[in-house]
Structure 1
């Protein structure tokens, strides 16, 4: 009898151990998906510096983020049963030959570009002095089929006898070449200029397309932006291009005498160009939830213009489906966003800002 009881205890321990291993594995075993859900709404004001100023505005602009991590079987169950997160296949997130470290680096590059575009757009709108100069084309990443003569971080300053003025011009110039041809590049590497004679490689093309020549790199324009008064954005660890609109509104708010927030907590998302055009982003349903959890009253989103655009529709559907008390304002450009803000009734507790800016021309 004692032997049977002992055996029962052993079996119980084994079964319990197996259950614990299965449950533990459900949390840590990776699957080829990313689990995406609501992130945070972050006030933009502390991230932006424009001249030297005193800001007594009552409201705030907030950028919104998503949370993203490697998916697990547990996330699969959450996505299926609760709908609080979604699983997105890795190939829809990662670019060709890109790993997770490459992706994070790309997001940082996108953030830097977004900050530059936001500053330029705001200063153009406010008619304040701003200049931008392309210093060259930086090699963000060398693809597996790319030329081994280039390295990540190289700054291409000249191609043959032409300045590397933009990625568009670089791609157009290479499109007239053939794989195997060589071009002369002047690059800045580790602070030293180098002259390279680089053979062009055959880039991957779809079936039926003719071979296309290139360097086999991911190119990024290195831009220097100068403004009066000086402006700076420090987003910390936040990556990606989708905070562009909210950065622009915050920078612009420092350049105009009135308080554009009108006393409201305003969240939003959307890319921005130097001309002030607002572009579509991903994961907007999660950003709506993040904005609501932060107490936002208004939510700016990219307006649906093209047939494939879904940001405006998804944002409004999410608010309705979840019963969120937050107004969605779709905009196609910076001017539409500013005009929408100016139409808001001024909050009683809000006052026009008193600012002191130095270096204003």
Structure 2
């Protein structure tokens, strides 16, 4: 009996102390895209240079809290998490691929967040019939590369070595004319100053020293150029400590609501999630089971759910929350019209199949 008791105590101690390679997700804060970011009163979405209209109700984007890359939960913590509805336990490498640091993960999330904002603006303005143009930008910066800390995701590339840039492929062409170790001069409009019509005063020159590409004998600066959009007026989306692409749909809806005289929500509390592309197509996201809990805890009655996430979301829908299946921005706008009219029975619903 004594030996068995001591063995049990040893096993219990081991389970408390033993660290296991898992990451835990839980419901995060939600943000009303029609409201303020924080107590300062700064709007989540601000529009200048175009008439806007009053809004009511909520169009909340949802988030998930994730434990850090270096955090290792105990076996007991993981077992408890598996038993709870408001904690999702997943293998560590699902969130932080092997070899990726927390800083690299945060940078990737920030870049995805910036890209989702751009697509959200493009989708919303296209839906409303405004012209949307294109520009070449820094899409991402390689961690530890020559451009890190000098160029940033979202910077607009105006010229390279004085040659005007109108296509993303031109950037690599200009850089590879140099030998490793030589300087390349970028003329950019920093992302923080990028507006509808930036002036010459907003431009700055950044010199980057090239290095040898790891896979070939050519010069590189460690950036991925891409294409972003230009707009006829300025739209700012400002949120701190939020990353990833999943807020795209709700940002688009918030922009449309502010630019149209129709009060889209009719005063109702609507939340949701989903990526969005330039054409307004809504895509699936991760952590849906935690996001529906976050939405209901915040007070939402309706939750826009990408159709590919419907089956998972329907398994543990919190009481009092109606899941609305969406595939496009236009479909979400039509669903809001049904909510305003009180036609809940006509709303496209999620199912478990």
The counterpart of 2:87, out of the listed 72, 85, 88, is 85
Residue 83 of structure 1 deviates from its aligned partner by: 4.2
Q: Is the 8 A contact 1:138 1:153 kept in 2?
A: no
Q: Deviations over 1:37-86 (max 9, x none)?
A: 122322111211123645153x2100111111134114312223334312
User: Given the superposition, is the C-alpha separation of residues 183 and 91 from structure 1 closer, same or farther in structure 2, using an over 3 Å criterion?
Assistant: farther
How does the TM-score come out when normalised to structure 1?
0.68
Residue 280 of structure 1 deviates from its aligned partner by: 1.0
The counterpart of 1:34, out of the listed 19, 23, 30, is 23
CA distance in 1, matches of 2:90, 2:219: 31
Q: Is the 8 A contact 1:110 1:240 kept in 2?
A: yes
Aligned pairs for 1:58-73 (under 5 A) are 59-69=57-67, 70-73=71-74
CA distance in 1, matches of 2:140, 2:170: 12
Residue 263 of structure 1 deviates from its aligned partner by: 2.4
Q: Deviations over 1:205-252 (max 9, x none)?
A: xxxxxx9x9969573637464333x32111122211101100100100
Residue 121 of structure 1 deviates from its aligned partner by: 1.0
Q: Deviations over 1:265-295 (max 9, x none)?
A: 1010001112111111000011011111112
Q: Does 1:124 align with 2:122?
A: no
3-state SS of paired residue (1:38): strand
CA distance in 1, matches of 2:231, 2:164: 24
Q: Does 1:253 align with 2:257?
A: yes
Q: Is the 8 A contact 1:140 1:218 kept in 2?
A: yes
3-state SS of paired residue (1:316): helix
Structure with greater Cα Rg: 1
3-state SS of paired residue (1:266): strand
Aligned residue for 2:334? Answer: 339
Q: Is the 8 A contact 1:271 1:280 kept in 2?
A: yes
Q: Is the 8 A contact 1:140 1:153 kept in 2?
A: no
**Which consecutive residues of structure 1, in runs of 5 or more, have no partner in the other structure?**
1-14, 203-210, 305-310, 348-361
Q: For the aligned residues, what is the CA RMSD?
A: 4.0
CA distance in 2, matches of 1:44, 1:139: 26
Aligned residue for 1:55? Answer: 54
Aligned residue for 2:138? Answer: 137
Q: Does 1:265 align with 2:269?
A: yes
Q: Is the 8 A contact 1:154 1:188 kept in 2?
A: no
Matched residue count = 299
Q: Is the 8 A contact 1:263 1:346 kept in 2?
A: no
Q: Does 1:108 align with 2:105?
A: no
Aligned residue for 1:226? Answer: 231
**Which consecutive residues of structure 2, in runs of 5 or more, have no partner in the other structure?**
1-5, 36-43, 191-203, 343-353
Q: Does 1:43 align with 2:32?
A: yes
